[in-house]
Amino acid sequence: MRVFIALEVMEQKKRSLVPAVLHKLAIGRGKPRMWLEQRSCCGKQYAALRCEGNRPIDWEAVERVCGTYGKRLLLPEGLTPPEDSRLPAPAFPQFRARMIAHTACEVVARTRMPMYRRTVGFVDIRGNYPGLLRQLLKFYTSAVVVTGERAYYETVRQELMDTLGAPVVIGSGFESLADCVLVVSPDDMYTSQSLPSGCPVMTGGSLVAQGRFDRISGLRYVPAAEIGDTCPAGIDTALFAAALCEFSGMDFPTYFAQEMLYNYKSATIDEVARIIAHCAGVDTPEQRDCSRQV
């Protein structure tokens, strides 16, 4: 069962004169040789499309071999198919969204923030991620939700109150997020409204808004060694882990980003945890200017 395919490009092996001639007669002069290999990682199946040759990739052949799995093709870093190719780069919205939620939980867990202060903002305009809000409320005591699906989230709000005892407020706009210690937005966020300046926004995509606010973006997950060791040559290990999760059904109970960008500057998760604690007035009496902490 092929649940996704990883393209693995190898340099053509040197051959002695006679085998080299026979090889060229068999596959055509200069054309790369391709074949599929069934593989597994931690018990989950995938396929590797191995390409051997020194000429440019024959993308039409790649499309033919992959068939309907072309939309689940992982490419080595730096390798891009032609614009007219039918090999779109796969997206992993669920993996990314869960990673953001796990990271937001891990960040607050690494602080000495008192429970009464742990209010998280959650932006889910389309109502796609109620399960992530439940995950967040394992580490935060209350939440403010900004959504375009208010009626749907009213039922979610009541269910979370009944099962977790966690108060959830459905905000009227982004100004409702002013008292949150962190705002989590799994999707792209575009708004003409101003975001509060007192709390950082952790986003999994593009963020366009008014106001002077701090952003946490570019979250980078580093997979465990057993995943990195079996990752096909040239494939980004985080991309490989995402494909195993979304396409092969591998269960990652808790995975979070160890590295990210805070206002476009590199930061570790511990550095971000300290910044959020400072911004919330916890741990140190320093001035709460988040933008100068990294």
Asked if pLDDT for residue 177 goes beyond 80, the answer is yes
Mean pLDDT rounded to a whole number for the chain:
85
Closest CA to 223 of 186, 194, 252, 265: 252
Q: Quickly state the pLDDT bin for 286 (edges 50, 70, 90).
A: very low
As a CATH number, domain 93-221+256-292 is 3.40.50
Asked if pLDDT for residue 164 goes beyond 60, the answer is yes
Side chain identity, residue 28: G
Asked if pLDDT for residue 21 goes beyond 60, the answer is no
Identify the pLDDT of residue 204: 81
Q: Which residue has the higher pLDDT, 46 or 196?
A: 46
**What mean pLDDT is predicted for residues 160-165?**
94
Q: Note the pTM of the prediction, 2 decimals.
A: 0.81
Closest CA to 230 of 23, 40, 19: 40
Asked if pLDDT for residue 24 goes beyond 50, the answer is no
Identify the pLDDT of residue 25: 44
Asked if pLDDT for residue 210 goes beyond 90, the answer is no
Identify the pLDDT of residue 32: 66
CA 146/CA 125 separation, integer angstroms = 7
Q: Boundaries of CATH 3.40.50 in the chain? A: 93-221+256-292
Region of poorest pLDDT, from 119-123, 149-153, 187-191:
187-191
Q: Which residue has the higher pLDDT, 75 or 207?
A: 75
Asked if pLDDT for residue 288 goes beyond 60, the answer is no
pLDDT in tens, 67-99: 999 999 999 988 899 988 889 888 888 899 999
Identify the pLDDT of residue 13: 57
Q: Quickly state the pLDDT bin for 144 (edges 50, 70, 90).
A: very high
The first and second tokens of residue 32, run together, are: 């790369």
Write down the residue that tokens 């039409």 correspond to: 60
Strands 142-146 and 5-10, how do they pair?
A: unpaired
